[in-house]
């Protein structure tokens, strides 16, 4: 994420602090201190920790939602759609590693936006599931348990922020191909 | 987990509260209240939130470590060892869903035991990786990136506490077989 504006910089700094200390333990004062500014100036840009959290999480959730709709509505095969979903997670995570950590660990601290976030997440899972179910129907995928297939893939994709190699060392295309191979074709020879 | 002793009951109640409110936000007073006892009686059994956290996490980490050693040192094929690791995670998670949530979300709040926990986790990952590497050498597994294979499997197994069906509805043997199939053989027909 580029530091386009002071607000973006606040969000980025906060996401790093949330990961380090846990959302509940971070204060607006901590955020101001980490940025080397006074708490009073922080409040010129953003009104609460809750607003920061909402900016981080809802913005990411909407990016996932928007891209998922495009993938779902295309005419590609189910396998190709699943590969595009893997690429989507690798791309967003590689650009927003701390924000993805906050999305994963702190979503339950959302207040006004909690319901909206849960709706986006539910819809995302439903779209993902429908792609898997279509793949089973069309005989592209094994006749397995779609819930196990969904949550197995999704758990790995949602944990990417923890183990994705640091950006400098990462060949995103190669990594996406390797991960798709493991998630879709398995590891058994 | 059975309520064998008052201490176990404290640990179970705490794990539920940690998941609900986040570790940092839970107080000893909250734990006492949830158990319907006075804070003073709580301190007769356990001296701090830190001791509770350590009891939850180190006990689980040691169970995983012990079982992993047995799996690693057996003469089974690499594929069979990986299936045993899947079964290990399903078994421990199905019996300790809240404690596994705390392990996953709260380990960074450990103090005196943090280093020991990180050592156990590192060793566990090393053993898991060595099983995968041996499987690649022996031509049992695809010649893929062992890090991607390791963290893809491990991410799914570590997230099981989130999506494993509730105990009453769960046929553990069937679920383990389905999950092994997806993780090892993939979903592509």
CB contact under 8 A, B151 and A159: yes
Phi-psi map region of B36: left, alpha, beta (phi>0 left; psi -120 to 50 alpha): left
Size of interface A-B (CB pairs under 8 A): 125
Coil, strand, or helix at residue A171?
Answer: coil
Instruction: Summarize pLDDT for B143-165 with one digit per residue, the tens.
Output: 999 999 999 999 999 999 999 98
B contacts of A25 (beta carbons < 8 Å): 24
At residue B4, the pLDDT reads: 62
Interchain contact, A188 vs B151, CB within 8 Å: no
Gap between the Cα atoms of B161 and B156, Å rounded: 10
Which residue from A109, A139, A179 is facing B148, i.e. has the nearest CB? A179
Q: In sequence order, what are the beta bridge partners of B35?
A: none
User: Which pLDDT score is estimated for B1?
Assistant: 47
What's the pLDDT tens digit per position in B8-40?
Answer: 899 999 999 999 888 888 999 999 999 999 999
**Contacts with B25 from chain A: Cβ below 8 Å:** 24
Backbone angles phi, psi at A46, to 5 degrees: -150, 140
Residue A3's pLDDT is: 52
Which residues contact residue B151 at a Cβ distance below 8 angstroms, ignoring those fewer than 6 apart? A156, A159, A162, A163
Residue A25 φ then ψ, to 5°: -85, -10
**The predicted structure's pLDDT at residue A21:** 86
Q: Which two tokens stand for residue B113?
A: 């035991």
Contact B73/A at CB under 8 A:
no
The CATH fold of domain A48-185: Tetracycline Repressor; domain 2 (1.10.357)
How does pLDDT run across B90-128, given as a tens digit for each residue? 999 999 999 999 999 899 899 999 999 999 999 999 999
A90-135 pLDDT, tens digit per residue, is: 999 999 999 999 999 899 899 999 999 999 999 999 999 999 999 9
Collapsed DSSP state (helix, strand, coil) of residue A31: helix
Low-confidence ranges of chain A (pLDDT < 70): 1-4
Confidence at residue B170, expressed as pLDDT on a 0 to 100 scale: 87
- Hey, are the CB atoms on B151 and A163 less than 8 Å from each other? yes
The pair of structure tokens assigned to B122 is 């590192």
> Which CATH number does the domain B56-185 belong to among 3.40.50.2000, 1.10.357.10, 1.10.260.40, 3.40.50.920?
1.10.357.10
Rounded distance, CA B163 to CA B90, Å? 11
Q: What confidence score (pLDDT) does residue B3 get? A: 52
* Average confidence (pLDDT) over B47-73: 97
Of B10, B5, B173, the closest CA to residue B99 belongs to B10
Q: For chain B, give the longest Cα–Cα distance.
A: 60
**Token pair listed for B55:** 């009891």
Domain range list for chain A = 48-185
The alpha carbon of residue B8 is apart from the nearest alpha carbon of chain A, in Å, by 26
Q: What is the ipTM of this complex?
A: 0.88
């Amino acid at each position: 994420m580029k530091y386009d504006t002071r607000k973006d910089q606040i969000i980025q700094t906060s996401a790093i602090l949330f990961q380090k200390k846990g959302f509940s333990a971070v204060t607006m004062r901590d955020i101001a201190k980490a940025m080397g500014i006074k708490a009073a100036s922080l409040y010129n840009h953003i009104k609460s920790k809750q607003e920061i959290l909402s900016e981080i999480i809802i913005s990411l959730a909407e990016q996932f939602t928007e891209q998922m709709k495009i993938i779902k509505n295309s005419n590609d095969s189910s396998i190709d759609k699943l590969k595009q979903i893997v690429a989507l997670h690798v791309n967003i995570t590689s650009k927003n590693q701390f924000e993805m950590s906050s999305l994963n660990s702190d979503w339950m601290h959302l207040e006004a936006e909690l319901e909206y976030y849960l709706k986006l997440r539910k819809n995302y899972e439903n779209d993902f599931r429908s792609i898997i179910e279509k793949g089973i129907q069309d005989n592209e995928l094994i006749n397995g348990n779609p819930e196990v297939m969904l949550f197995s893939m999704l758990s790995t994709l949602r944990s990417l922020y923890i183990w994705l190699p640091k950006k400098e060392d990462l060949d995103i295309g190669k990594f996406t191909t390797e991960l798709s191979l493991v998630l879709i074709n398995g590891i058994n020879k």
